[in-house]
Amino acid sequence: MSKWMQTGCDHGRANGYFLESIDDSECRFLAVHCSSYSKYEEGECPPQNSTVAEMGHNVKRTKLQPPARFYLRTNDKKPFCLENSIRFR
């Protein structure tokens, strides 16, 4: 398995994420804006200093210019949504 597949986005799960965002109002898919995944992983984009957006059914438009990159954590199986999907360091 390639390194990208181990750490990258799995677009094959997009439908599952979206359906879960409708069905589970208790958990929100929150993502933080960051210029790169490595910076996100290193905690260089803290949510309190970055734009936070919700993924899925409740998504709101942002005024960021494309390409804007947002990152979040998910489970590898249902339920996918993690209550603390963004790191507050």
Residue-wise DSSP of 7-62: HS--GGGHHHHHHHHHH-SS--EEEEE-S-HHHHHTT-S-GGGS-EEEESTT----
What percent of the chain clears pLDDT 90, i.e. is strictly above it?
A: 21
Domain boundaries, the chain: 3-71
Q: What is the pLDDT of residue 27?
A: 86
**Bridge partner residues of 54 (DSSP):** 30
Q: What is the pLDDT of residue 44?
A: 94
Rg (CA), the chain: 13
Strand 52-55, strand 29-33: pairing: antiparallel
Q: Which stretches in the chain have pLDDT values below 50?
A: 1-6, 88-89
Instruction: Decide: helix, strand or coil at residue 5.
Output: helix
Q: What is the pLDDT of residue 86?
A: 59
